Amino acid sequence: MLEDIAIGITLFATWQNVVAIAGGVVIGVIIGAIPGMGAAMAVALALPFTFYMDPITGILMLTGIYKGTYYGGSASAILINTPGTPAAACTTLDGYPLARKGEARRALDIALYASCVADFLSNLSLILFAGVIAGFALRFGPPEFFALVVFSMTIIAGVSGDSLMKGIAAAALGFLAATVGQDLFYGSPRLTFDSSNLLGGLSFVPVLIGLFAIPQILDQFNRRLLVTEKIATTAKAIGATFADFRYCLPSIIRGSVIGVILGAIPGIGGAPAAFLSYSEARRTSARRENFGKGELEGVAASEAGNNGVCGATLIPLLSLGVPGDIVTAVLLGAFMIHGLQPGPLMFHQNIHLIYAIFAGLLLSTVVLYIAGKIAIRLLSRIVDIPDNLIFPSVLVLCFFGAYVVNGSSFDVLIMIIAGLVGYLMLKTGLPTAPFLIAFVLGPLFEDNLRRSLLMSGGDLGIFVRGPITWFFLALTILTVVSIGRRSWQDFRKQRLAAAEKPG
């Protein structure tokens, strides 16, 4: 085994491979910061350039781009409240409020530290536990997925702000938006209004951009508020300190573990992992009331969750030959183009190549830290741009991001409508986070619910069929009881405060 590892490291240790992994990460960070591009598009666009490369060089470049985009998405999420990638949507909840307070540099720093720690732990998990985690992931069927999604939805209560009812109303709108399109099982159209463009449902990226970016642009235009000047006063001053990192470290480790576990399960992705990590951080934090208002721990938890997914998605790909998400499906194509078939046989036939890729993945974490530090200095200058330039520029990026996903002008219309809905929600006090969570998790909820019932012939007992479902359902019950208890205590405090007021 040691001889195989030595040969693998020797195969990796060429300047071409080092340049490929470094260049891939840098390209990924840049593309990830552009709203609407995303990891899948970046990797797919880069795939043709790897056809004539050595297999190790080409695959390392693509994985570098994959990892870079996940961190890059946090930059625009923090600075302009527009997630560069869907996985960074959760980062806006606390990242942008921190930027509004003049702590953009601090938020960017902690996002980078959380991303690097999570990426390293994810890579380490891939190297050490690929077989074990892949085996555990195979135990997840529709009932287990359903229990996991139900537990993930408890975060809606945590991001609803001061009014739980408004949060539930916003989540209901998100669920409604998630049902647009063809029925998953029967193919019948739902809420399409006889439009063929809606048969595939509402595209996530246009809705995401419209929901977060457009309302802010409209609001700042109406109020003539120079937000960029507020941010610029301290954005380049003090970054995150070691004390900040130490305080956030438990949430970073927890989020990394959540990202690794969910990343190893095909079909989950970075966004649910980020929201679940954020939910757990808020539940266990001593400053839970500050979440959503500019809490550094919230940024760390979100970034740890979504970056923890990166290495873990390669676990089912390399060990089973099953892509964990869209990006790894593109990577599967890259392997096959180079005459390689991921799966159990690959560990016997191409073990040296596997170890070479592992070495490159470990180096990618170091490159990500260096590239991230450089990017923070450059991206922080965004806040120095006058508002009469930055808002039109952001608007152009929004239209570009919405269009390039599918090359459809209809998606631009969806973004505009989502933006108007988001603006109305902003003015009426409805929080956007519950809407987004329900929109992301709604299809997973419906799909796994109906698959489970089809498997059991309508028997609800399938939802408590094993230890995994019991575990997540027990966590859900405990969380709901805890939320109810806190709500009752807050209600009693408000009544007592009202009773003690004179007159």
Summarised one tens digit per residue, pLDDT across range 34-85 is 765 667 767 777 777 777 888 888 888 888 888 888 888 888 788 877 777 7
pLDDT for 387 equals: 58
Confidence bin at 335 (pLDDT 50/70/90)? confident
Beta strand extents in 179-233 (DSSP E only): 181-182, 189-190
The Cα–Cα gap between 168 and 157 comes to: 8
pLDDT of the residue at 379: 67
| Widest Cα–Cα separation across the chain | 83
User: Is a pLDDT exceeding 80 seen at residue 94?
Assistant: yes
pTM above 0.85, yes or no: no
Task: Give the distance, in angstroms, between the CA of residue 237 and the centroid of all CA atoms in the same chain.
Answer: 28
Range 91-102 average pLDDT: 84
pLDDT of residue 228: 41
Please report the pLDDT score of residue 225 as a whole number.
Answer: 47
Does the pLDDT at position 187 exceed 70? yes
Phi/psi of residue 190, nearest 5 degrees: -130, 125
pLDDT at 502 over 80: no
* Confidence category of residue 485, pLDDT binned at 50, 70, 90: confident
Structure confidence at residue 291 as a pLDDT band (50, 70, 90): confident
- Mean pLDDT (whole number) for 461-490: 80
pLDDT at 344: 63
Asked whether the predicted pLDDT for residue 230 surpasses 50, the reply is no
User: What pLDDT is attached to residue 157?
Assistant: 65
- CA atoms within a 13 Å half-sphere pointing along the CA-CB vector of 314: 26
pLDDT over 60 at 233, yes or no: no
**Residue 375: band (very low, low, confident or very high) from pLDDT cuts 50, 70, 90:** confident
- Whether the CB-CB separation of 79 and 379 falls below 8 Å is answered with yes
Residue pair 315/132 in contact (Cβ under 8 Å)? The answer is no
- Rounded to an integer, what distance in angstroms lies between the CA atom of residue 342 and that of residue 295? 41
Confidence (pLDDT) at 419: 86
The CA angle 360-361-367, to the nearest 5 degrees, is: 85
H/E element holding 503?
A: none
Residue 68 exposed, middle or buried by CB count within 10 Å (0-12, 13-18, 19+): buried
Percentage of residues of the chain with pLDDT beyond 90? 1
Q: What is the DSSP secondary structure assignment for residue 85, as one 8-state letter?
A: S
Give me the pLDDT at residue 490, please.
Answer: 67
Give, in order, the Cα–Cα distances in Å from 478 to each of 81, 423, 484, 485, 503.
33, 35, 10, 10, 40
More confident residue, 384 or 6: 6
Residue 227: per-residue pLDDT: 44
Mean pLDDT, the chain, rounded, equals 78
Higher pLDDT, 57 or 383: 57
Distances in Å between the Cα of 236 and the Cα atoms of 76, 104, 116, 304 are: 16, 8, 21, 23
Burial 96-106 (b: 16+ CB within 10 A, else e): bbbbeebbbbb
Q: Please state, in angstroms and rounded to a whole number, the distance separating the CA atoms of residues 315 and 312.
A: 5
